[in-house]
Amino acid sequence: MTQVSVAPCADYSQTEVRRALDETLKPFGGLDWVLPGMKIAIKANLVIFFNPSRAATTHPALICELCRLLAERGAEVTLGDSPGGLYTPAFVNRVYAATGIREVEKYGGKLNSDFGQATAVYPDARAAKNFIYTSYLDRADVIINFCKLKTHGMMGMSAAVKNMFGVVPGTLKPEYHYRFPSNAVFADMLVDLNEYFAPKTRLSICDAVVAMEGNGPTAGSPRKIGAILASPSPYLLDLVASGLIGLTRRDVPTLEAAYRRGLAPASADEVLVSGDPARFRVADFKQVASPRSIEKFGGRVVGYFLGRLFRSRPVPDKAECTGCGVCAGICPAGVIDIRNKLAHINRKKCIGCFCCQEFCPTGAMKVERSATARFLVKSDPVRKRKH
């Protein structure tokens, strides 16, 4: 039985999107499971108020077509997310407008206008045994997780699993980075969120028509892949998607966390895929700088002690930083200050959450590998530091 489906989608034209979505969903019975009156929430990636051409958010053409297909079957469709920033009507409506998502209203969908919050108690969690989430999801019978394939400063990759961080109201996101500061614990928290909503999450779909490479998840560059992926499992989808951009399970902490918990296999080779993922692999996809495969330099024990030497860090580019102060305002550890119109980071107290890099409005905050990692790997695919 198919576990992940991959289909070509050459562009975001309506006819191409319609064909591609039909092909992607066909191995799972299409949308035959949708019943009249069913309340469906589409959880998109609307991380920031960027035009869809920036490849930071799920493209509205895909969301609109999915809304049309669901509405034709009599479903009540709500599109929502909690971007980085205030979870208020004014801020989120600005994001709706910038990302082009308002178009869903022409295709039978509606935009979430409920900005309430609820508290989850989840004793089975590994990390997030209680958390606050966007309460509009409580009214949904089914959730569809519609993500964007991107690089990510902290998690290596943003796709289906990472997309569910958007259930946490925007202004609380920095607090969660502080509560779960290490990559491994943060990844466990993300898996906890996915598992909490798993009973409702019927499907995960990934927009990999145009992905984001380089300084992702908001300041990278668009890179065409030309594919859409779908799966009932966010972990299996991410495992296959990671291969398209040159990553493995070990490069993505959320996949490692899922593997440890028996939610995903060790390799995408163990996943039953409909379609040909190899057709869409991009050999020179630019990654966020990261300490990949430290263990190869001496095994697990040595890798553990060398971890801090290989740890990536956010670094402001002097030529691009405007001193706007957004990074200082969003830093959960409060270790950034602005001096002479330039961001300065207290390295001893930085928790490495990369919130500053993710939400820098000019893309001036870059992810940089440590000097040790740069020496051993000999190149930085995202950025060569200016001296």
241 shares its domain with 312: no
Asked whether residue 303 carries a pLDDT value surpassing 50, the answer given is: no
Q: Could you tell me if residue 289 is inside a domain?
A: no
pLDDT reported for residue 281: 98
Amino acid residing at 247: L
pLDDT reported for residue 67: 98
192 shares its domain with 68: yes
204 shares its domain with 325: no
Q: Which residue has the tokens 């998109």?
A: 44
> Please, are residues 24 and 206 in contact by the beta-carbon 8 Å criterion?
no
Q: Between 253-260 and 183-197, two packed helices, what is the crossing angle to 10 degrees?
A: 60
Strands 221-231 and 4-8 turn out to be antiparallel
pLDDT in tens, 198-233: 999 999 999 999 999 999 999 999 999 999 999 999
pLDDT in tens, 43-86: 999 998 899 999 999 999 999 999 999 999 999 999 999 998 88
Looking at 255, 280, 305, the residue that finishes a domain is 280
CATH number at residue 66: 3.40.50
Q: b vs e for 9-43, b when ≥16 Cβ sit within 10 Å of the residue's Cβ?
A: beebeeebbebbbebbbebbeebeebeeebebbbb
248 shares its domain with 323: no
> Please, are residues 223 and 211 in contact by the beta-carbon 8 Å criterion?
yes
Strands 201-213 and 221-231 turn out to be antiparallel
pLDDT reported for residue 270: 97
Top-ranked range on mean pLDDT: pick from 167-171, 206-210, 365-369: 206-210
pLDDT in tens, 122-164: 999 999 999 999 999 999 999 999 999 999 988 999 999 999 9
Q: Which domain holds residue 200?
A: 4-280
Looking at 245, 280, 315, the residue that finishes a domain is 280
Asked whether residue 306 carries a pLDDT value surpassing 90, the answer given is: no
Contacts of 281 (CB under 8 A, 6+ apart): 243, 244, 245, 246
Mean pLDDT of 231-254: 97
CATH number at residue 309: 3.30.70.3270
Top-ranked range on mean pLDDT: pick from 85-94, 301-310, 325-334, 348-357: 85-94
88 shares its domain with 150: yes
Q: Could you tell me if residue 386 is inside a domain?
A: no
- State the Cα–Cα distance between residues 151 and 357, nearest whole angstrom: 12
3-state secondary structure 202-266: EEEEEEEEEEEECCCCCCCEEEEEEEEEEECCHHHHHHHHHHHCCCCHHHCHHHHHHHHCCCCCC
pLDDT reported for residue 352: 78
Q: Could you tell me if residue 8 is inside a domain?
A: yes
Q: Could you tell me if residue 159 is inside a domain?
A: yes
- State the Cα–Cα distance between residues 187 and 183, nearest whole angstrom: 6
233 shares its domain with 301: no
- State the Cα–Cα distance between residues 51 and 89, nearest whole angstrom: 19
| pLDDT confidence bin for 296, thresholds 50/70/90 | very low
Q: Could you tell me if residue 385 is inside a domain?
A: no
| pLDDT confidence bin for 387, thresholds 50/70/90 | very low
Q: Which residue has the tokens 């040909």?
A: 276
- State the Cα–Cα distance between residues 161 and 285, nearest whole angstrom: 20
| pLDDT confidence bin for 370, thresholds 50/70/90 | low
Asked whether residue 305 carries a pLDDT value surpassing 60, the answer given is: no
Q: Could you tell me if residue 248 is inside a domain?
A: yes
Total domains present in the chain: 2
Top-ranked range on mean pLDDT: pick from 237-241, 286-290, 360-364, 380-384: 237-241
Looking at 248, 280, 312, the residue that finishes a domain is 280
pLDDT reported for residue 310: 52
Asked whether residue 26 carries a pLDDT value surpassing 70, the answer given is: yes
Q: Could you tell me if residue 163 is inside a domain?
A: yes
- State the Cα–Cα distance between residues 180 and 328, nearest whole angstrom: 19
Q: Could you tell me if residue 383 is inside a domain?
A: no
Using only the alpha carbons of the chain, give its radius of gyration: 20
Asked whether residue 386 carries a pLDDT value surpassing 50, the answer given is: no
Provide, rounded to the nearest whole percent, the portion of the chain with pLDDT above 70: 89
273 shares its domain with 323: no
Strand partners, 224: 210
148 shares its domain with 112: yes
272 shares its domain with 299: no
321 shares its domain with 242: no
Q: Is the dihedral of CA 137, 45, 70, 242 positive or negative?
A: negative
10 shares its domain with 131: yes
114 shares its domain with 36: yes
Q: How many CA atoms lie within 13 A of 306 on its CB side?
A: 19
Dig out the tokens for 27 from the structure: 């191995």
| pLDDT confidence bin for 13, thresholds 50/70/90 | very high
pLDDT reported for residue 267: 97
